[in-house]
Structure 1
Amino acid sequence: MIKAVVNRALLRVRPGKQIADDINGGDLLWFLWEQALNGLRGTLLSLRCKRATFCFMGRGVRLRFARNIEMGRYSVIGDGAILSGLGRNGLRLGDRVNVGAYARLVVGTDIGRPGSYIHIGDGCGIGEYSSVGGSGGVTIGRNTIIGQHFTAHPENHNFSDLSRPIREQGTTRKPIVIGDDCWLGARVTVLAGVTIGEGCVIAAGSVVTRDVPPLSVVAGIPGRIVGIRPEERHADA
């Protein structure tokens, strides 16, 4: 009975997601209790953001410069995550975004030179312990899934002047764009100025230093194109 009610609710919140048959009643009740607490916590904390919405936040979530943060409906923020909206266009999460535990989404840290933005599309998932900086701007498309320990760096230190320490030479900021429906594995790093086209697959541990055309499969350090998704499907057939 409980499973049927929850499954009906899931169809509205996360279409296609249903409770597995081997989940017993006790585990389901404990899960629902946790989600109820996270839903209450998230909705109350969202009152500090641009607009209030129904969302889920785990224990120890920290919101900084919350008036520049826009939370999407049914978004899930894991335990200990840090969200900071210090920047010109703030931090925006679409509907049903999932941010893993202890991840950091930080638009900027310098009040003398605020960051640009972090915009994350509907249905996007970002793994635990990931770090996304928004100093030069980061856009992640809809339904893109990203593994643990992902990092995005839309800013590089200048180092051409040998008479001055690198830390005093400032930085150059360039936006990062990741398209819709991509899959980035664990420990992927994306550097400033890179655009990853829609439908790409980036292998775990890759460092992406240059633009990637849509539907590409990329691996390595630096990342190189090792396949194209339509060609792989034809080969399997």
Structure 2
Amino acid sequence: MFIRILNKLISRWKGHDYKIDHRVPLYYVLLLVLDRMVMLANGYISGISNNGLFFLSAKAKVKARSKVKVGRSVTIAQGVFIDALSEKGIWLGNNVSVGINTRIEGTGNLQFLGKGMRVGNNVGLGYDSFYGCAGGIEIGDDTIIGNYVSFHSENHVFDSLDVPIRLQGVTHKGIRIGKNCWIGAKATILDGAVIEDGCIIAAGAVVKAGLYTANNVYGGVPAKLIRYREEKEVYNGL
């Protein structure tokens, strides 16, 4: 009975049917519910603007909290570090989860105020990932981000041989990820990358600046077209 009620509640929160596997022990579920209740209380007293059901781990650290806004049913897990100091702040939509030990930095250097990060609805940000938001990061609805992924929306200028690279400044083009994308584990997304709706980025890929057109699969270092999602044929080297 308890599991049935819990399934209904979670389904309502998530907006789609959700059922806990019947093989999961009841004690495990109860401990998880207790942990979530503590996170819910912590989110309530955090002072972070939210639309309800905000689950914040006591072991997460959030700086510049006035620049953070979250939707409904958002989870920020333990070990997460968010520094929201930036022009537009950090915005997380409904039903977003930020995985364990993930780091989000709105500004990389106090000499230049970063642009920040905007995440759509129903997005999962995996464990142990890094989001450098100086040039701005946008992630569309229903996108999945794997574990150990890094986003770098900033690039160093290195044209001069007479000036140290660290003194030549940086550029900021920003990163945009469309809706319904899947970014595989350990992928690296670099400044200037625009990944359109429905794309899949293979695990370990390095996505440099450029346009990655909708509904295609990209992989490799640097990332290249592997195939079109609606076809089975492989397009190596394109």
Give the counterpart letter for 1:155 in structure 2.
E
What stretches of structure 1 of length at least 5 have no aligned partner? none
1:204 aligned partner: 203
How many matched pairs? Answer: 231
Match of 2:161, SS state, is coil
Matched, 1:147 2:151: no
Matched, 1:98 2:97: yes
Q: Say which structure is richer in helix.
A: 1
1:171 aligned partner: 170
Deviation at residue 205 of structure 1 after TM alignment: 0.1
Matched, 1:18 2:16: no
2:236 aligned partner: none
C-alpha distance in structure 1 between counterparts of 2:206 and 2:108, whole Å: 24
Deviation at residue 85 of structure 1 after TM alignment: 1.3
Cα-to-partner distance string for 1:196-222 (whole Å, 9 max, x where unaligned): 010011110000113210001011000
C-alpha distance in structure 1 between counterparts of 2:192 and 2:132, whole Å: 13
What stretches of structure 2 of length at least 5 have no aligned partner? 234-238
1:35 aligned partner: 36
Deviation at residue 69 of structure 1 after TM alignment: 0.6
Deviation at residue 58 of structure 1 after TM alignment: 2.0
Contact residue 124 and residue 145 of structure 2 kept, 8 A: yes
Deviation at residue 106 of structure 1 after TM alignment: 1.2
Cα-to-partner distance string for 1:26-66 (whole Å, 9 max, x where unaligned): 11111111111111112221x1x345633112241111111
Contact residue 134 and residue 154 of structure 2 kept, 8 A: yes
Contact residue 196 and residue 214 of structure 1 kept, 8 A: yes
C-alpha distance in structure 2 between counterparts of 1:164 and 1:231, whole Å: 49
C-alpha distance in structure 1 between counterparts of 2:108 and 2:85, whole Å: 7
C-alpha distance in structure 2 between counterparts of 1:72 and 1:84, whole Å: 18
Contact residue 117 and residue 133 of structure 2 kept, 8 A: yes
Contact residue 61 and residue 78 of structure 1 kept, 8 A: yes
Contact residue 86 and residue 109 of structure 1 kept, 8 A: no
Deviation at residue 78 of structure 1 after TM alignment: 1.2
Cα-to-partner distance string for 1:2-41 (whole Å, 9 max, x where unaligned): 1111011011112222111112221111111111111111
Cα-to-partner distance string for 1:166-222 (whole Å, 9 max, x where unaligned): 111110111110000001110011111110010011110000113210001011000
2:53 aligned partner: 54
**Normalising by the residue count of structure 1, what TM-score does the alignment of the two structures yield?**
0.94
Matched, 1:118 2:117: yes
Following TM superposition, the consecutive aligned residue runs of length 4 or more in structure 1 with deviations greater than 4 angstroms are none
C-alpha distance in structure 1 between counterparts of 2:6 and 2:194, whole Å: 39
**Normalising by the residue count of structure 2, what TM-score does the alignment of the two structures yield?**
0.93
Q: Is the deviation greater in 83-92 or in 103-112?
A: 103-112
C-alpha distance in structure 1 between counterparts of 2:190 and 2:175, whole Å: 7
2:186 aligned partner: 187
Contact residue 51 and residue 72 of structure 2 kept, 8 A: no
